[in-house]
Structures are given as C-alpha cells and as structure tokens.
Amino acid sequence: MALLKVSFDQKRRVKLAQGLWLLNWLAVLAGTVVFGLGLFLKVELRKRSDVMGNSESHLVPNSLIGVGVLSCAVHALAGKVCYDALDPAKYAKWKPWLRPYLAACVLLQAALLLAALCCLLLRGSLEGALALGLRQGLRFYRDTDTPGRCYMKKTIDLLQIEFRCCGNNGFRDWFEIQWISNRYLDFSSKEVKDRIKSNVDGRYLVDGVPFSCCNPNSPRPCIQYQLTNNSAHYSYDHQTEELNLWVRGCRAALLSYYSSLMNSMGAVTLLVWLFDVTATTGLRYLHTALESVSNPEDPECESEGWLLEKSVPETWKAFLESLKKLGKSNQVEAEGADAGQAPEAG
Amino acid sequence: MAPVLPLALPLQPRIRLAQGLWLLSWVLALAGGLTLLCSGHLLVQLLHLRTFLAPSCPFTALPQVALAAGAVALCTGLAGAGASRASLDAAQYPPWRRVLGPLLVAGTAGGGGLLVLALALALALPGSLDTGLEEGLGAAMAHYKDTEVPGHCHAKRLLDELQLRHHCCGRHGFKDWFGVQWVSSRYLDPNDQEVVDRIQSNVEGLYLTDGVPFSCCNPHSPRPCLQDRLSDPHAHPLFDPRQPNLNLWAQGCHGVLLGHLQGLASTLGSLLAVTFLLQTPVLLGLRYLQTALEGLGGVIDGAGETQGYLLPGGLRHRLRTAWLQGGAAHRPAPGEAPAEEAPPGGDPPEA
C-alpha cells in the first residue's frame, strides 16, 4: 500500500512541474541567503577573535556556508529536471539518476536541519572562549610597548565603547589588574611607591577604570578614579551611583550579541529547511507520477504519485534486504573466484 | 506654419527609437531610485545631527526636494519604459495614447522643475552649513552641563556620542572646552577653595578648567587618557602639552561634520545631474515617438512615413489668438516649463 497516494492527470502533472520549477529556483535563492548568513557570522567572529583568544570554534558558520552552497547546487539541478519533466524525450535522460538524486536531496535536508540546530544550541564553547579571551585582553591592556600585544588597549577600548560594557564581569575587574603601564608612572612619587609596596606582586593597582567604561548618559562628568572613595568627589555615593559607568560586563554583552545573531540565523535556516522539504516532496511526487504512467505513448493518461511505494516498515525491510543482498553478492563473487582458482591450481 | 524641430520617422528608425528609449528609461529609473536612496540617507543623517545644526540653517530643504525629484524621475523612467514597450505592440498601445500626453507634461514641468530646483539647492546650500554648524555646535557645548534643564538635558549625551562616533573633540580643537563650563554646578563643591577661586577668576562666574570630557579621549594612545590639567607641563609624567600626541582626538567636530555633510551633498548633486541628463532625452524621445505615432493615427505597424515633432505647427498662431481673446475660452497650453528645455507643449494632438 503506497504512502500518501495522490492521483494526477496530465494538467495536474504539468502544473506540478511548473510550480516545482519556480519553487526550486526560490530554494536556490534561499540557499544563497543561508550562505550569506554563514559568511556574515564568520566575518563577525573573525572581527572579534582578539578577545576570544583566537580559539573560537567556526563550526556553525562553516556548516551554514557548506549547506548553503550544496542547497543552491542541488536545487538548481532540480529546477532543470522539473523543466525537462514536461518533455518525455528530455526527461528520459534524467530518469536513471532521479532515485539517487532524491536520496541526496533527503540527506541535504537532514544536513540543513542539523546546521539549524547547531545555530540554536552551540553556545557554550563561545562563552568559554570569551571568558578566557577577555581575561587575557584585560591583562595585556597596558602592554602597548610589547610587540604582538600593542593593539590590545585599542581593541578593548573600542569594544567597551561599542558594546557599552566594562571589564569582564563588571567594572571591578579593572581594580584587580595593573592597567597603567609602568612607563607612565612617576616612581619618585610617594603615592606610587606606596601602592606598589601594598601588594605581593608589586603591581600598581588603583580603584579606577579606563575612559572607555564611561557612560555618556550620566548627568555628571565621568568619574574614573577613586571610585570607591565617596569623599574624593562632591555629592557622590559609589553604592547608589548607577549611571556613571557601564554596568554590564563585556562577556555578557558579547554573548548576548552573538546569541541573538545565531538565534535569528537558526530561525531563518529552519524556515529555509521547511521550504526545501516542500520542494523535495514535490519532486518525489513528480518522479513517481511520471514513473507510473502506464502507457508511455498516451501522454494524457492518469497516473498516481506517492511518497513511498510500500508503507514505512515494509520499505525499511526491503532496504535492509537489498543491503544484505549486496553483501551476499560480494561473497558469492569471492567464492566463485576462489573456486575458479582452485581447479586451476589443482 | 511648420512644426517645431520635425524629424522623419519611418518604421525602422521608429522601432530603434522605441528600443533605445526603453533601455534609457530603465537607466533613468535606476538613477531616480539611487537619488531617492541617497536623499533618504542624507535626511536620516540630518535627523541624527539636528541638535548640532542651527534651526535657521536651510540645508534640510535639499534632501526633501531631492527626494521628490528622485521619486518623479523614477516614475518617469518606469512610465517611459512601459510606453516605449507598448509602442512596439499594436494591442498594448491604445491605453497609453491617452495617458502619454499628461504624462509628458507632468514629467517636464513637475520632474524637470524639481530637478532643476534640487540642483540649484545642491550648489547653493552647502555654503550655509558652515555658519549653521558653528552656531549649533557652540550651543550644544554651552548646554553640555545643563543635564537637568528641560529641553537641553540631552545635549551632554548627544555631544559625547558625537565625539565618540566621529572621532573629534570640541568645535575646532580640544581647547574649545577650556572656554566653556562643561561641569554642572550641581557637582561643584561650594566649600572647596579651588572651585571658588576658579569661579571668581573670570567675569561671567563660570567654572573653567583646562580639562576635557572623556569622549575626547583617543583609544589609539599608548597611555591611559589624560583629561585634566592639560596646559600644565608638570602635571603628568612624560607628558608635554606642546608636543603633538595621540592622547585626544586632534580634529574638531566642525571640520568633521562639515566634510561629512558636504560629501553627501556633492554625491547627491552628481546623482541629480546624472538624472537630469537622462531625463531630458527620455522626455524628448517620448514626445517624438508620441507625435510620430499620432501622425499614423495610432496604427503602430504602419510602414508609412511619418514625422515626429516637438511642438505642432500653428501653435504660435493659436497661442496668439488665444491670448488676444483673453484666454477665457480654453485653457492655454501649459508651456511654462523651464526655459533651457524646449518645452513639448501639453496639447496632445487630436486623434
């Protein structure tokens, strides 16, 4: 008993082929969109690879790019097949390839679904890379004279300005590292000497933050230094002051940015997947409808299209049988070769 | 009286004219669309920068007129493409016959007029940007401290964001901040002797410092940003204010914004010029096509010789008699199009 049988007369077959031709070319467009999305995500990840420790995984954008390109190619071919389906002479040359081609289509849809799920679920590795990268970035902030790290100050400053964040988890991260280079410290000053002596590692730690942490929405000019000392500034209470600096940490800011990016890409990829599944199903119906045309000389006759010739369990059994037969036929050939050699040797 | 600028148009040249016109119309539609986009972009930029432009600055008229001109050019291009395509097909032409006349009038008077006006504005208005920006930026800097005064409370945030985004400081340089009180009095301690000294040291009682807001800081500097005591060479180690350095943004916002807006205005001006150069031949070609086909009585495939012209013969005579009769009997031909174009008068020849 065939699965989801639908009967087609000549007109419906023609309409199906024409509709499928259009659908497949729209699917090519959709594939291009997925490719574009993958490329965009890859570029965005590369732009900020400095603060991700250069160790971020590019699995998601690469999979989107690959699936997008494959989808374009497969659906362009399907469009050509649908166009030729209306002409029996041209269709005859495609006939033997359609079965494996449909199998490839099904595999592609599975890959597309997998890519969409990757987009929506693979966030954990990004968080780890960000935590590591930002911690390092903050440590190298002062090394503007060290080759290989001299760009880190600029990167972190521009990051904090653009994403409206401060530090790794908050602005207090800046209190724990020395972010002012020794080159600009006046070592003859008593204050500097006291601070350096006050901790084991001999670092110059301040309760201050760089200018890029400042929040322009604050009604007062930015307070960057002596943040925990209420008496250092007029009418200032560091416990209740919220608008002076950006409150969010850069890890949370970047994570939310990339999450929303990947969520929307995952949603778009799911829609494209649904569209592609429709196109593949239509192609299968067209294939079976044209196969089951009983009288090839009479193009006007009715025919039936279906998804699977037998029901699902029977089809699965038949598939396993054919696999076993394939294995057995190899065995028989091998035995035949041995038997052939044995009489010769004997 | 002979028609104005007649041109013989047998079948083959007519077909070539229609085909060439179709292509040119699509290019005109493209140019019109680009003008539309560019003027929309300029309008959005001006919306963001309206705090820094004095309200009396007439510059905002340019993108509005260019928007209208671009829209009309786009419609003219699309209509021209449709009409020239229809003129090759006998079945499609009759509905276009009625529409073509008024279309040409609207295209010339409306579209041409708007384009010329927009071009004139694009040449004249950028000069007024200088004073507009000077006043606007000066007012914004003066109101930087007024974060609690209704109507000016956003000046600080907008000016900070401007300096951060456009990489500039002050009007012409960071020293402009030395002449303005940018610290709100609410956060000045009246008991601090230093504050009192500063306020008393100038006539207007302003708290002036040799410091700048944080948004002037340049992230490319290798040292953490120095914002205060900038005129004192001994205040910060290894920092000499007389030497050029990367500490703050070197350019003033006036120069940056002026360059930005003038660049956009010149792009818009070139697009308007290109649109104008495309629209003129399209309208002329459509007029010739229209009159040639009218000469055949609307029959497209007629292989007979026919003439296209700009203005029908006897128009001057008709205009004079109409003028003498006071023009009350029938509406005078709307030939008020700009003088540099030969106006294809709006009288659609009687069928």
Q: What is the DSSP string of A211-241?
A: GGGB-TT-SSPPP-SSTT-GGGSTT--TTT-
How confident is the model over A46-74, as a mean pLDDT?
Answer: 90
Block residue for tokens 């390839």: A97
Over residues B241-252, the pLDDT tens digits come to 665 578 899 999
Range of the domain at A209: 171-247
Instruction: Give the Cα separation of B34 and B27 in Å (integer).
Output: 11
- Residue A306, chain B, CB below 8 Å: the answer is no
For residues A240 and A94, state if they share a domain: no
User: CB within 8 A of B295, min separation 6: which ones?
Assistant: B306, B307, B308
Cβ distance A157 to B148 less than 8 Å, yes or no, reads no
Locate B335 and state its tokens.
Answer: 């030939």
| Among candidate residues B49, B110, B76, B88, the one with its CA nearest the CA of residue B262 | B49
Within 13 Å, how many C-alpha atoms sit on residue B136's CB side?
23
Cβ distance A183 to B214 less than 8 Å, yes or no, reads no
Residue of B nearest to A223 (CA): B214
Q: Tell me: pLDDT of B337 over 80.
A: no
Using an 8 Å Cβ cutoff, are B181 and B208 in contact? yes
Portion of chain B with pLDDT greater than 70, in percent: 88
Task: Give the pLDDT of residue A62.
Answer: 94
For residues A86 and A9, state if they share a domain: yes
For residues A138 and A283, state if they share a domain: yes
Q: Tell me: pLDDT of B346 over 60.
A: no
Using an 8 Å Cβ cutoff, are B74 and B277 in contact? no
For residues A194 and A225, state if they share a domain: yes
Task: Give the pLDDT of residue B22.
Answer: 95
Using an 8 Å Cβ cutoff, are A193 and A175 in contact? no
Residues of B in contact with A140 (CB under 8 A): none
The answer to the question of residue A93 being in a domain is: yes
User: CB within 8 A of B330, min separation 6: which ones?
Assistant: B322
Instruction: Give the Cα separation of B116 and B105 in Å (integer).
Output: 16
Q: In sequence order, what DSSP letters do the residues of B96-159 get, joined into one string?
A: HHHHHHHHHHIIIIIIIHHHHHHHHHHHHTHHHHHHHHHHHHHHHHHTTT-TTSTTTTTHHHHH
Using an 8 Å Cβ cutoff, are A119 and A264 in contact? no
Backbone phi, psi, residue B4, to 5°: -80, 125
Block residue for tokens 């990840």: A45
Cβ distance A219 to B220 less than 8 Å, yes or no, reads no
Q: What is the mean pLDDT of chain B?
A: 85
Instruction: Give the Cα separation of B188 and B183 in Å (integer).
Output: 8
How confident is the model over B95-101, as a mean pLDDT?
Answer: 85
- To the nearest 10°, the Cα dihedral for B4, B10, B12, B14? 30
Cβ distance A186 to B214 less than 8 Å, yes or no, reads no
The answer to the question of residue A80 being in a domain is: yes
Using an 8 Å Cβ cutoff, are B82 and B258 in contact? no
The answer to the question of residue A207 being in a domain is: yes
User: What pTM did the predictor assign?
Assistant: 0.81
Q: Which residue of A184, A205, A215 is the best one to mutate when testing the B interface, meaning the one whose CB has the most B CBs within 10 A?
A: A184
User: Predicted confidence band at A255 (pLDDT cuts at 50, 70, 90)?
Assistant: very high
- Residue B156, chain A, CB below 8 Å: the answer is yes
**How many domains does chain A contain in total?**
2
Question: Closest to B160 (Cβ–Cβ): which among A158, A183, A216?
Answer: A216
Instruction: Give the Cα separation of B169 and B340 in Å (integer).
Output: 47
| Among candidate residues B211, B233, B71, B45, the one with its CA nearest the CA of residue B144 | B211
Cβ distance A234 to B148 less than 8 Å, yes or no, reads no
How confident is the model over A313-318, as a mean pLDDT?
Answer: 83
Q: Degrees (nearest 5) of the Cα angle A226, A190, A234?
A: 25
For residues A3 and A139, state if they share a domain: yes
The answer to the question of residue A238 being in a domain is: yes
For residues A64 and A140, state if they share a domain: yes
ipTM exceeding cut-off 0.90 for this assembly: no
CA-based torsion, A12, A13, A16, A22: positive or negative: negative
Instruction: Give the Cα separation of B7 and B4 in Å (integer).
Output: 9
Q: At B311, is the secondary structure helix, strand, or coil? A: strand
For residues A185 and A277, state if they share a domain: no
Cβ distance A221 to B189 less than 8 Å, yes or no, reads no
Cβ distance B223 to A181 less than 8 Å, yes or no, reads yes
Using an 8 Å Cβ cutoff, are B88 and B15 in contact? yes
Task: Give the pLDDT of residue A333.
Answer: 64
Backbone phi, psi, residue B6, to 5°: -75, 155
Q: Tell me: pLDDT of B294 over 50.
A: yes
Within the 149-188 window of chain A, which residues sit less than 8 Å (CB to CB) from chain B?
Answer: 150, 153-154, 157-158, 161, 179-181, 183-186
User: CB within 8 A of B137, min separation 6: which ones?
Assistant: B52, B171, B253, B254, B257
Cβ distance A216 to B161 less than 8 Å, yes or no, reads yes
Using an 8 Å Cβ cutoff, are B254 and B275 in contact? no
The answer to the question of residue A275 being in a domain is: yes
For residues A239 and A263, state if they share a domain: no
Instruction: Give the Cα separation of A9 and A299 in Å (integer).
Output: 9
Alpha carbon of A145: minimum distance to chain B alpha carbons (Å): 8
The answer to the question of residue A190 being in a domain is: yes
Which one-letter amino acid corresponds to residue B275? T
Locate A47 and state its tokens.
Answer: 């732009």
Over residues A186-196, the pLDDT tens digits come to 888 899 999 99
How confident is the model over B115-128, as a mean pLDDT?
Answer: 90
Which tops the pLDDT comparison, A324 or B244?
A324
Task: Give the pLDDT of residue A269.
Answer: 94
For residues A56 and A123, state if they share a domain: yes
Q: Tell me: pLDDT of A268 over 60.
A: yes
The answer to the question of residue A265 being in a domain is: yes
The answer to the question of residue A166 being in a domain is: no
Over residues A157-195, the pLDDT tens digits come to 999 999 999 999 999 999 999 999 988 888 888 999 999
| Among candidate residues B348, B282, B350, the one with its CA nearest the CA of residue B100 | B348
Cβ distance A185 to B227 less than 8 Å, yes or no, reads no
Q: At A89, is the secondary structure helix, strand, or coil? A: helix
Number of CB pairs, chain A paired with chain B, less than 8 A apart:
72
Which tops the pLDDT comparison, A55 or A76?
A76
Task: Give the pLDDT of residue A341.
Answer: 54
Task: Give the pLDDT of residue B47.
Answer: 93
- Residue B196, chain A, CB below 8 Å: the answer is no
Q: At A205, is the secondary structure helix, strand, or coil? A: coil
Task: Give the pLDDT of residue A316.
Answer: 83
Task: Give the pLDDT of residue B101.
Answer: 86
Q: How far apart are the first and last CA of chain B?
A: 20
- Residue B217, chain A, CB below 8 Å: the answer is yes
Give the domain-ending residue among A214, A247, A280: A247
Cβ distance B219 to A220 less than 8 Å, yes or no, reads no
Block residue for tokens 């207007």: B204
Cβ distance A150 to B161 less than 8 Å, yes or no, reads no
- To the nearest 10°, the Cα dihedral for B145, B151, B153, B156? -60
Within the 243-302 window of chain A, which residues sit less than 8 Å (CB to CB) from chain B?
Answer: none
Residue of A nearest to B195 (CA): A234
How confident is the model over B255-278, as a mean pLDDT?
Answer: 94
Instruction: Give the Cα separation of B7 and A337 in Å (integer).
Output: 90
Task: Give the pLDDT of residue B159.
Answer: 95
Using an 8 Å Cβ cutoff, are A42 and A62 in contact? yes
Cβ distance B157 to A185 less than 8 Å, yes or no, reads no
Using an 8 Å Cβ cutoff, are A227 and A166 in contact? no
- Residue B262, chain A, CB below 8 Å: the answer is no
Instruction: Give the Cα separation of A222 and A209 in Å (integer).
Output: 11
User: Predicted confidence band at B345 (pLDDT cuts at 50, 70, 90)?
Assistant: very low
Q: Which residue of B217, B239, B246 is the best one to mutate when testing the A interface, meaning the one whose CB has the most A CBs within 10 A?
A: B217
Using an 8 Å Cβ cutoff, are B298 and B94 in contact? yes
State which of A9-13, B15-19, B261-265 shows the largest mean pLDDT. B261-265
Q: Tell me: pLDDT of A220 over 80.
A: yes
Within the 41-80 window of chain A, which residues sit less than 8 Å (CB to CB) from chain B?
Answer: none
- Residue B224, chain A, CB below 8 Å: the answer is yes
How confident is the model over A137-141, as a mean pLDDT?
Answer: 93
For residues A140 and A273, state if they share a domain: yes
Using an 8 Å Cβ cutoff, are B296 and B306 in contact? yes
Q: At B277, is the secondary structure helix, strand, or coil? A: helix
Over residues A328-346, the pLDDT tens digits come to 877 766 665 555 555 554 4
Residues of B in contact with A161 (CB under 8 A): 164, 219
Over residues A86-116, the pLDDT tens digits come to 787 888 888 888 888 988 999 999 999 999 9
Rg (chain A; Cα; Å): 33
Task: Give the pLDDT of residue B339.
Answer: 39
Cβ distance A216 to B164 less than 8 Å, yes or no, reads yes
Alpha carbon of B127: minimum distance to chain A alpha carbons (Å): 32
Over residues B152-200, the pLDDT tens digits come to 999 999 999 999 999 999 999 999 999 999 999 999 999 999 999 999 9
Residue of A nearest to B184 (CA): A220
- Residue A226, chain B, CB below 8 Å: the answer is no
Over residues A280-312, the pLDDT tens digits come to 999 988 888 888 876 666 667 777 777 777 778
Residues of A in contact with B189 (CB under 8 A): 234-235
Using an 8 Å Cβ cutoff, are B252 and B206 in contact? no
Residues of A in contact with B223 (CB under 8 A): 144, 180-181, 183-184
Other Cβ atoms closer than 10 A to B243: 7
For residues A258 and A240, state if they share a domain: no
For residues A281 and A222, state if they share a domain: no
Portion of chain A with pLDDT greater than 90, in percent: 51
Residues of A in contact with B227 (CB under 8 A): 211
Which one-letter amino acid corresponds to residue A254? L
- Residue A235, chain B, CB below 8 Å: the answer is yes
Work out whether strand A303-305 and strand B307-308 pair parallel, antiparallel, or are unpaired.
unpaired
